Amino acid sequence: MREVNNNTANPSNVNFQGIQTRSTKEDVITPEIAPSESPEVTDLGKMPSEVIGRSQVSKTAQQKDVDFAVKHEKDVEDLDRYFNYLIDKRGLSYEQACAIIAGTAEEFYGA
């Protein structure tokens, strides 16, 4: 870089002795990036993201949640109040509160 003396209003006080010359394009080495070799998937049912998505939304998990809510209506209301408390009073994020509620339901109610 350059060093500027305290009096910058006068351009004759600028010291250019410590400046290095700019490198040319021949001096710069740029690495070549090889294209990735991944097989093309034509059957969308075999894509990993599709399989993961199907496993996260299964009828058995939804039915299990509905069955629990029907059997334990009062407990679900208590868990909902506790969930709101975790978010409003304790300042937890939605994801953290969901994880705590899921663990609580599993531990105490066998959900």
Instruction: Give the three-state DSSP class for 5.
Output: coil
What confidence tens digit (pLDDT) does each residue in 51-94 have? Answer: 666 666 556 677 888 888 899 899 999 999 999 999 999 999 99
What confidence tens digit (pLDDT) does each residue in 27-59 have? Answer: 566 667 766 676 666 666 666 666 666 666 556
Instruction: Give the burial class of 40: count Cβ atoms within 10 A of its Cβ; 0-12 exposed, 13-18 middle, 19 or more buried.
Output: exposed
Instruction: Give the three-state DSSP class for 4.
Output: strand
Instruction: Give the pTM.
Output: 0.45
Average pLDDT, the chain: 75
